Structure 1
């Protein structure tokens, strides 16, 4: 018997309840690794038990962390929260059924045929991933997304929807209701409905926190419906709340199966036997590969087209959760794991070349789906299907990387359906929580995101001062340096220059640019 086969069997985690295998034998840890890490892992189990019991697991914001309750309301720390979760799921199903039956329909039409979801970050990435993974020609409503504040991107989506805007249900998702990107998308969508002579409120639904700006707007405007977001569910772990369930149900996805898959995985990942806990194995492999310091990148290679957006979803889930300056004691640690990926076998014709022969600064997670397609596959060669080639490329790439000392682990699922997508979501949510406990950080806040928002607000305030000065002196030309001095912000001359470039690049802003000897000495004026 080969040593590789013995190692494979020894470290293979079989989870038949979820139709999933986790193979970590391609990671080069020593045989004493698990024993060495076991005390820390048991502490991580304790921290997770406390979290699920309602402890303040997000101390920086003094919040509970309750996304696991979404799949099993009976675990919630009080009956009120459990009732809210159950009511929300029931409301999602009833509203979606009414939409599908045409009982709620757009004015003058028999029913809705399109769905426009407006959100950003966790309010878009999770729903987009689920929509792309599980959607298809039989969708009850065809989904579209505004997931940025890019006007051209929104124009592109609106052009794709075209005349069907009159049959488009709009779901606006924002916990606070004040997220500017989402607010801007809502304003742009409303303008498009107004331009088409359609009353936006007859097409609009809100998913938001009680009493938020969005909640108040939906009430005042008489929107079709409102669904809750709670402060104990973070955006990146909200896909099994109304944030993800409502778009999925409207699209026609089986949300009961999605929730059941997540619940089954939750049960598996509560096991305190480390070697039989798939999320614990993932967290420990991340810790081993990166020395608990993010020293290597995580490359996610799903060999399935429908999992194309999984790496993008995981980027936020993992990087926003793990990427922290301070640990729980306030010590500067600068933790993080960089995540990237596309899909196999496309990657084999892209960056696998570097993975095999370039800098060894990564570890790979292969994701394998055993079922190629429902039904019989065409043979592209005698006895060989396209799916056989895909499976062969996965195995071949694993071997090629291993031959150069590149480490990998493999997640295998039987088929891709709503239940297995729920399983993958729950698996990685729990792995993130375990890893955060192992390295002693708060995985459930995101102060760096707020810092970026504050900086953007300051830039827009400076832009307003620039526009006011230019408008007050029409025809007078300024360099960026002169204008920065005129508005009292010489220390922000670079920012002033970049604002002026953007304004001059959009004729409707009525700012003209005359190039100087160098672009930095260009002069700007109000038209």
Structure 2
């Protein structure tokens, strides 16, 4: 039996007291359980009528468990015990949290960085590839699948026997899998959007094949379902949703930290759920995932709300304004999904669409389809090419470049650092985040590209235009061809970065671009420049 605890303080508690009685009176929870598409207004009704299967995901996913277990046992019997997951956004973030929390190995391919993809092409004799794509046409996932299949073949392994697919029924990927005779095809519930799919085949298949007890995960979610679908003032889904989306004035920067919850990477999953669901029509909640004790956790800025994930409510000091939430992973996945749906209603937006995501994809496709042209990378400062600064900005040193970037921040704005690099080998870049937050006195988000395009990318384009973008790109050690495609991974990731930068600039956001020709030296120089602020 799972336990779920929540406490709210300050502005968050005021929001709970203000909105929960109305949500109870309107029967929001029971109507959500009945998959009522009218909860978010007439403009959202058509989309929400097709996207509410997640509230019943536990029951719908139970029949998958024997299939997952049987396949996992068969593969292990063949000596195949390493799972590589090719997926973007919700298709990879949820299983990564599930596997990481259970202490199981899962190699996630959520990048088009040639170095990161190449690093996954190891131990192929014991590897199975899970290809997860709801649409079945995700360019990153398709490229990863082609590269892995070619690597299997080159190693003398029947690629089809080592590829498992998770997709929506009728997708191009399902057709490809059937025609190629892939090892298994799991078709997911099409009434569940990608960011709400943690408790569906997208979360369960990769994690289950990696050895996670996914039945217990579903049990924990099921144990709180009645509580979350009850029209009651003690409903933690209503309370959390009211706290997130109902503060007055709106505290739209959610500082997400972890106080010994025992759950690995939950903030990154919650970030994509909340940001993509709420960031549109000029409003939105900005999740800022930080370590415990980061500068933002002690800030008294009026637009910040603390969201603390805890192992024990009693062991955490209550923030001045915020919520502390505790529970098992299965329970928390479901409560945050419910809370995001509640926040969407309070914000007056449709939490199930992503109207601005396609713009960056279209821009990237246009660049890929164009003749290869050497990109103008700007002036070199300490070995790093700099572009996008205002004409009168001081750029004598990298520290000056960073300072000039921060001075563009609005009083209620935030900096978003977007690194189109290898999130494992180049992980030292994340140390920039708290240093820039301390120097600017404003929240700083950090996203790995192109992964964030499938999560916070919607927020950057559809939310309030009060962000400053610091985009980091780099040359790879060596490029990787994408079999049967007219582009390499290096060209693809460059097009994704350039395309997104252009779209963000068109939305009026300042975009400063730094390109590292030498990753090791460039990262060291950036860290030194940030420390000097």
TM-score calculated relative to the size of structure 2 = 0.65
Instruction: Give the Cα–Cα distance (whole angstroms) in 1 for the partners of residues 6 and 83 of structure 2.
Output: 36
- Establish whether residue 443 from structure 1 lines up as the match of residue 348 from structure 2: no
- State the alpha-carbon separation in 2 of the partners of residues 450 and 236 from structure 1: 16
Q: Per-residue CA shift, 1:256-293, capped at 9, x if unaligned?
A: 1101111122211112112x1001111111234364x5
Moved more, 256-265 or 296-305: 296-305
Equivalence for 1:150:
113
Is it true that 1:432 corresponds to 2:388 in the alignment? no
> RCO higher in 1 or 2 (8 Å CA, sep ≥ 6)?
2
1:422 has 2:323 as partner: no
Deviations 1:44-75 (A, max 9, x none): 336524426999975248624201222124xx
Which secondary structure state, in structure 1, belongs to the residue aligned with residue 107 of structure 2? strand
Please, which of 95, 105, 121 is the counterpart of residue 89 of structure 2? 121
Cα distance change of structure 1 residues 460 and 42 upon mapping to structure 2, 3 Å threshold: farther
- Total equivalences in the alignment: 382
Q: Deviations over 1:381-424 (max 9, x none)?
A: xxxxxxxxxx97x43xx4xxx5xxx41221233xxxxxx11001
Residue aligned with 2:350, SS: coil
Correspondence for 2:360: 452
1:269 counterpart = 2:228:
yes
| Cross-structure match for 1:181 | 140
2:120 partner SS: helix
1:316-327 equivalent positions in 2, closer than 5 A: 316-325=272-281
**In structure 1, what is the Cα distance between the partners aligned to 2:146 and 2:45?**
33
* Aligned counterpart, 1:39: 22
Counterpart of 1:336 in structure 2 is 284
Q: Distance in 1 between matches of 2:480 and 2:184?
A: 39
Supply the distance in 2 between the matched residues of 1:86 and 1:54 (Cα, whole angstroms): 28
Q: Name the residue aligned to 2:252.
A: 296
2-side partners of 1:35 and 1:271: how far apart?
18
Q: Secondary structure at the residue paired with 2:356?
A: helix
Aligned with 1:240 (options 176, 193, 199)? 199
Taking a change above 3 Å as real, the CA distance of residues 199 and 290 of structure 1, as seen in their structure-2 partners, is: farther
Distance 2:311 2:336 in 1: 17
| 1:200 alignment partner in structure 2 | 159
Q: In structure 2, what is the equivalent of residue 96 of structure 1? A: 72
User: Deviations for 1:195-245, whole angstroms, at most 9, x for unmatched residues?
Assistant: 322221121111112232211221121111110123211111111111111
Question: Which of 34, 45, 50 matches 1:63?
Answer: 50
Q: Deviations over 1:127-159 (max 9, x none)?
A: 111111112xxx4xx32111122211111233x
Q: TM-score, normalised by structure 1?
A: 0.65
- Alpha-carbon spacing, 1:365–1:64, altered in 2? closer, same or farther (3 Å): closer
How far 1:308 moved relative to its partner? 4.2
Matched, 1:409 2:409: no
Instruction: Give the aligned CA root-mean-square deviation in angstroms.
Output: 3.3
Is contact 1:40–1:438 with CA below 8 Å preserved after alignment?
no
Q: Is there any run of 5+ residues in structure 2 with no aligned partner, and where?
A: 375-470, 482-486, 489-533
Structure 1: where are the runs of 5+ without partners?
A: 1-16, 74-84, 106-110, 326-333, 372-390, 414-419, 468-497, 511-527
Q: Cα deviation per residue 1:336-386 (whole Å; 9 max; x = unaligned)?
A: 100022333xxx2xx23x542564431111222149xxxxxxxxxxxxxxx
What is the SS of the residue equivalent to 1:169? strand
Tell whether 2:211 aligns with 1:252: yes
Q: Which one is further off, 192-201 or 19-28?
A: 19-28
CA contact (8 A) 1:175 1:230 kept: no
**Which structure is higher in helix share?**
1
Deviation at 1:33, TM superposition (A): 6.5
